């Protein structure tokens, strides 16, 4: 038999030899790839300069901060696949004294939040910066003395947030004593509690305190303006609270409504009525739903600010929402609570008692000047329908009619929370 070429297969045994050689070559290639990637990744993560975006800023949709890991299809090491990394999210500091740290991949809600964090970070680290690029979708900042410090952030469409993409941490140009980022607004909010405790705190003392805390030399005129702004914030809050305590009726109306924009949720609100019979807003919040837990939190914050309702003899009015009633009973057991006429009449109609005759009798009973008039209109309702009379009689008349004896006769007739 003639000799066969290297590309010819004589039998199944030689074919098995070729397959074994191919598998060995594949395993060797995978091992070399794994070692190379591990070495490269350790080198990159040890550097001060990081970059999580391989795409230009104009197309940040491909830069979601993923990393590669070497895994086989069955989960073992060997073949590369894409893994989504979790990056830290910026949490706004309620206290401006807390230390701010910035990281590669850190996520922010928008450019404004990123700029606020960057400003506080620069003040705490005693240096000033300037913008190379300051746009709605990307921001690049460098040290004002061009020492090499640089940070770049842009919008990530896959992660739907504003994200730090590259960051050079090295900063070796010393302290910037004249730092424009230490603004008047920042100083007023940072030292607000100082002026709350000591309104006569001098501007020269504020100047020295800022120098000692942050190595920043603010001008004396800026410190005077910061003091004026801080006192304005405190005086405005106090004046608004005093206006409610001294010039509003002893009635607080609370209600909630749906938010119908892209930001779904519930809007809670509390209002009062002033001497001109106008709405006087007290507080509001946005929460995920309307239940006992959210109402308890909202009312707790409200009472913490305005004081004990029993001391001021206030009464509350609502639409009989179950979670709200439970929250009020837990926080203010036995406190006078009135009901919204519009919601009460809507429930009355929902039971089938519709028409102008029912509405006139209901309104007459609600706005009765005395007990005698109240009983008259209730008898009218009873004459039209015994079921309607039974339904409305189950509700305590002191919570919705001015004709019944109240704890405070000077209270006005019930209002409607829809005026919120």
At 159, is the pLDDT very low, low, confident or very high (cuts 50, 70, 90)? confident
Q: Where are the domains of the chain?
A: 43-180, 184-245, 249-419
The contacts of residue 237 (CB under 8 Å, 6+ apart) are none
The values of phi and psi at residue 62, to 5°, are -95, -5
Q: Is residue 165's pLDDT more than 90?
A: yes
Give the three-state DSSP class for 254: strand
The values of phi and psi at residue 53, to 5°, are -120, 120
Return d(Cα 230, Cα 189) in angstroms, integer. Answer: 7
pLDDT number for residue 413? 42
State pLDDT tens for residues 360-373. Answer: 998 888 888 888 88
Strongest mean pLDDT among 311-315, 327-331, 399-403: 327-331
Mean pLDDT of 52-75: 41
**DSSP assignment letter at 1:** -
Cα-to-chain-centroid distance, residue 300: 18
pLDDT number for residue 83? 52
Across the chain, what does the average pLDDT equal? 79
pLDDT number for residue 114? 93
**DSSP assignment letter at 250:** S
Return d(Cα 175, Cα 128) in angstroms, integer. Answer: 9
Percent of the chain at pLDDT > 90 equals 29
pLDDT number for residue 99? 86
The contacts of residue 316 (CB under 8 Å, 6+ apart) are 251, 252, 253, 254, 309, 328, 332, 335, 336, 337, 338
Q: Given the DSSP bridges, would you call strands 266-273 and 315-318 parallel, antiparallel or unpaired?
A: unpaired
The contacts of residue 283 (CB under 8 Å, 6+ apart) are 269, 270, 298, 301, 302, 305
pLDDT number for residue 64? 39
Return d(Cα 127, Cα 180) in angstroms, integer. Answer: 9
State pLDDT tens for residues 227-260. Answer: 999 998 888 877 788 888 888 888 899 999 888 8
Mean pLDDT of 120-145: 93
Q: Is residue 117's pLDDT more than 60?
A: yes
Mean pLDDT of 285-305: 89
Mean pLDDT of 89-117: 84
pLDDT number for residue 162? 93
Among 48, 67, 346, residue whose Cα is nearest residue 172:
48
At 38, is the pLDDT very low, low, confident or very high (cuts 50, 70, 90)? low
Q: Is residue 279's pLDDT more than 80?
A: yes
Q: Is residue 414's pLDDT more than 50?
A: no
State pLDDT tens for residues 384-407. Answer: 989 999 988 888 888 888 765 443
Number of residues assigned to the chain: 420
Q: Is residue 324's pLDDT more than 60?
A: yes
pLDDT number for residue 42? 59
Q: Which residue has the higher pLDDT, 304 or 16?
A: 304
Q: Which residue has the higher pLDDT, 91 or 357?
A: 357
Mean pLDDT of 268-285: 90
Cβ–Cβ under 8 Å, residues 326 and 387:
no
Cβ–Cβ under 8 Å, residues 283 and 270:
yes
Return d(Cα 140, Cα 225) in angstroms, integer. Answer: 30
pLDDT number for residue 20? 57
Out of 1.10.287, 3.30.420, 1.10.3060, 3.40.50, the CATH code matching 249-419 is: 3.30.420
pTM to 2 decimal places: 0.49
Percent helix, percent strand, percent coil in the chain, to nearest 5: 45, 20, 40
Q: Which residue has the higher pLDDT, 87 or 300?
A: 300
Q: Is residue 209's pLDDT more than 90?
A: yes
At 41, is the pLDDT very low, low, confident or very high (cuts 50, 70, 90)? low
Mean pLDDT of 118-128: 92
Among 187, 152, 155, residue whose Cα is nearest residue 167:
152
Q: Given the DSSP bridges, would you call strands 80-83 and 49-51 parallel, antiparallel or unpaired?
A: unpaired
pLDDT number for residue 225? 95
Cβ–Cβ under 8 Å, residues 107 and 163:
yes
Q: Kindly give the residue spans of alpha helices, DSSP state H, lying in 219-259.
A: 220-247
pLDDT number for residue 32? 72
Cα-to-chain-centroid distance, residue 228: 29
pLDDT number for residue 86? 73
Q: Which residue has the higher pLDDT, 146 or 238?
A: 146
**DSSP assignment letter at 261:** S
Q: Quick count: other Cβ atoms within 10 Å of Cβ 228?
A: 14
At 51, is the pLDDT very low, low, confident or very high (cuts 50, 70, 90)? low
Q: Which residue has the higher pLDDT, 343 or 402?
A: 343
């Amino acid at each position: 038999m003639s000799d066969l070429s290297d590309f010819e297969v004589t039998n199944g045994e030689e074919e098995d030899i070729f397959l074994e050689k191919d598998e060995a070559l594949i395993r060797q290639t995978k091992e070399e790839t794994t070692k190379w990637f591990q070495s490269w990744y350790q080198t990159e993560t040890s550097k001060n300069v990081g970059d999580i975006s391989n795409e230009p800023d104009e197309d940040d949709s491909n830069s979601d901060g993923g990393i590669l890991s070497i895994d086989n299809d069955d989960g073992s090491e060997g073949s590369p696949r894409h893994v989504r990394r979790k990056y830290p999210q910026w949490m706004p500091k309620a206290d401006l004294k807390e230390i701010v740290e910035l990281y590669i991949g850190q996520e922010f809600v928008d450019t404004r939040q990123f700029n606020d964090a960057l400003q506080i970070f620069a003040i705490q680290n005693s240096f000033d910066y300037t913008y190379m690029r300051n746009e709605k979708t990307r921001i690049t900042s460098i040290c004002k003395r061009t020492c090499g410090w640089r940070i770049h952030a842009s919008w990530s469409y896959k992660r739907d947030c504003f994200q730090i993409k590259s960051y050079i941490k090295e900063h070796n140009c010393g302290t910037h004593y004249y730092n424009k980022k230490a603004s008047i607004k920042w100083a007023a909010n940072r030292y607000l509690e100082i002026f709350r405790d000591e309104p006569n705190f001098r501007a020269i003392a504020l100047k020295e305190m800022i120098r000692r805390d942050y190595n920043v030399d603010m001008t004396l005129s800026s410190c005077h303006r910061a003091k004026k702004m801080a006192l304005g914030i405190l005086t405005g809050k106090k004046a608004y609270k005093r206006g409610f305590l001294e010039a509003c009726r002893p009635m607080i109306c609370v209600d909630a409504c749906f938010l119908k924009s892209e930001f779904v949720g519930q809007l809670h609100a509390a209002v009062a009525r002033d001497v001109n019979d106008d709405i006087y807003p007290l507080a509001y919040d946005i929460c995920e739903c309307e239940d006992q837990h959210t109402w308890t939190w909202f009312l707790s914050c409200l009472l913490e600010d305005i004081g004990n309702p029993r001391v001021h003899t206030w009464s509350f009015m609502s639409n009989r929402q179950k979670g709200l009633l439970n929250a009020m009973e837990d926080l203010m057991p036995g406190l006078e609570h009135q009901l919204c006429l519009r919601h009460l009449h809507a429930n009355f109609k929902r039971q089938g008692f519709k028409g102008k005759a029912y509405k006139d009798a209901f309104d007459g009973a609600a706005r009765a000047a005395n007990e005698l008039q109240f009983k008259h209109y209730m008898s009218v309702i009873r004459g039209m329908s015994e079921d309607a009379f039974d339904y409305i009689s189950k509700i305590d008349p002191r919570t919705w009619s001015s004709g019944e004896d109240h704890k405070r006769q000077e209270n006005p007739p019930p209002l409607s929370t829809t005026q919120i």
